[in-house]
A and B are shown apart, each in its own frame.
Chain A
Amino acid sequence: MNGSGGPVATSALELQSVSFGYSGTAVLENLSLSVAQGEFVSLVGPSGSGKSTVLRLLAGLERPGKGRIRHHGADIVGPGIDRGVVFQDYSLFPWMSLAENLVLAIGKAHPDLGKERRRELADEYLELVGLGEARKKYPQELSGGMCQRGAIARVLAMGAPILLMDEPFGALDPVNRTRLQDLLLEVWSSTRPARTVVFVTHDVDEAVLLADRVVVLGANPGRIIANLAVTIPRPRSRKETFVRSDFVALRMAVTNHLHGDMLAQLSAADWVGEAAGI
């Protein structure tokens, strides 16, 4: 720990003028984004804006057509255990129990650990997300919320310094969503600045509440139309945060950008200009 806000030599994650497309259709065009070590960045955008593609590129599941993607200065050429990924609803293998899923992931992340230790660690993390009792259950036997808790336990147990989350709470009911948001924030802030998070969501409240920065993507092709810093102090309780004027203003700004992109065919430059004024 060397105090706060020191200049970081290299970004934890960096996309440099990245373009990406499938068979002729451009999904992302000339997109640049850098994420600092320990930062929590939310990506929001309409469907077709390529927000999931950005995450897949960072995960190394896709390779960019043009541009560079780097992790602490090193090019990302494929998936790596240093980047933990939580998908919307399929992070766990259905033929393994919760504990087996975690043990497999822990084994890959920490190959030096013995079998017994891996099992203990799996139990600890399942306990952390309140699934200690369900350790022997298979994903089919669990609710969606429990599966996502399991997925988060898995990614935390792997100890990856970078968390890439693709609408992880998108399919959950509001109560479970709130709980998991709190859990994620708790873990992230307690290890700050060890963990960097890129969080894809289409829920504007969630994006603003969780993040240090909200990046708004526009569609066809995917590009950044706004990059808004969230300066609301932490810890952020929902009750206080939701009524703050800066929260309301940010939420409005994000929503306007989203709607603006969807409704009007304005040039991206205008919107970025306005975003800078906020």
Chain B
Amino acid sequence: MSVVKISGVASTTLEGLAGISVKSHTASRARLLGRAFQGKEGWCLFVGLLAVWQLSAWVIPANKRFLFPSPAVTARALWVSLPELGKGTFSSFIILIPGYLAAVVAGVVLGILAGTTGWLERTTVPFARVVAPVPPTVYVPYAIALLPGFRSAAIAVVFIGAFWPVFVNSLAGAASVPQRMRDNARVLGLTKGEYLRRVVFPCSLTHIFSGMSVGMAMSFIMLTVAELFGANAGLGRFVQFYADFADYPRMVAGILFTGAVTFICMRGLDRIRRRALSWQR
């Protein structure tokens, strides 16, 4: 009796073991597959969307396809437009860079001053609360009418679009410098200038960079909107121009190209942020 019992136990144990090992085998295969895609999931969505795009190009009848060009047609349009797009990018950057940089400098300097100076904070915060949420696109027609030349008007609206997020975030960062950092600065006898430059500024960098990244997205929006109104070159202008001529392959190519440029700029900013904040890790 006892022998049978023992053998029974042994056999179930073995079965159990076998079952577990089989299971773990399939699990490990799935895990292996998962590992192969790990970190590449983002690409999968791109590839998937591209496949859907290609598929739809096959399905949609040819007479309706001009509104919805296939990937191959779009790629060809992109290729032939590259010189024009390059020129457009240059023209856009001549507006974007000065407008954005001026907004960052002004936003950070004024934000830090307002965040550390009581009366300045009390003066500017109520104003910012009213003005900052106004969608800056509403200023575009007026800026174009008001300022001499399209370029200065476009720079101005890019500036306005990027300024508020940078200012508001810098102010929040400067206002939230911990008491212990302020004590530390006072104990060292730092002057107001040294305090702002060497304590408040680095301490607010996390906030400043999030403002800069929102501001950068805003400045791209403002740029393309402004270009829709009155530019004779530029990325937004390119898209508008070919849409007017119903050249949709070029228009889609322009959209994709603008997306790529925006992406590269945002990635660049992210690189800078990581570098500047390396001390946090």
Contacts and interface: CB of A to CB of B under 8 A. Distances in A.
- Say if A and B assemble together: yes
| Consensus secondary structure, chain B interface | helix
Contacts of A83: 187
Interface in B173-187: 180-181, 183-184, 186-187
B107 to A, nearest CB: 20
Interface stretch (A85-93, A118-126, A208-216, A232-240): A85-93
Interface in A163-216: none
Interface in A233-272: none
Interface of B: 180-181, 183-184, 186-190, 198-199, 202-203, 205, 278-281
Interface of A: 56, 59-61, 78-81, 83-85, 87, 90-91, 93-96, 104-105, 108, 138-140
Instruction: State the 9 A-B residue pairs at the shortest beta-carbon distance, nearest first.
Output: A95-B202, A138-B279, A85-B187, A90-B180, A79-B186, A81-B189, A95-B279, A79-B187, A108-B188
Given A56-B183, A104-B198, A108-B188, 11 more contacts: A79-B189, A81-B189, A83-B187, A87-B184, A90-B180, A91-B184, A93-B199, A95-B279, A104-B188, A140-B280, A140-B281
Given A90-B180, A104-B198, A80 B203 contact: no
Looking at chain A's contact residues, is the secondary structure mostly helix, strand, loop, or mixed? loop
Contacts of B190: 108
B193 to A, nearest CB: 13
Given A95-B279, A104-B198, A61 B203 contact: no
Nearest to B182: A61
Interface centre among B186, B202, B280 (most CB of A within 10 A): B186
A237 to B, nearest CB: 33
A95 B184 CA distance: 13
A120 to B, nearest CB: 20
Contacts of A78: 186
Nearest to B278: A138
30 contacts: A56-B183, A59-B187, A61-B183, A61-B186, A61-B187, A78-B186, A79-B187, A80-B189, A83-B187, A84-B187, A85-B183, A85-B187, A87-B180, A87-B183, A90-B181, A91-B184, A93-B181, A93-B198, A93-B199, A93-B202, A94-B280, A95-B202, A95-B205, A96-B198, A104-B188, A108-B189, A138-B278, A140-B279, A140-B280, A140-B281
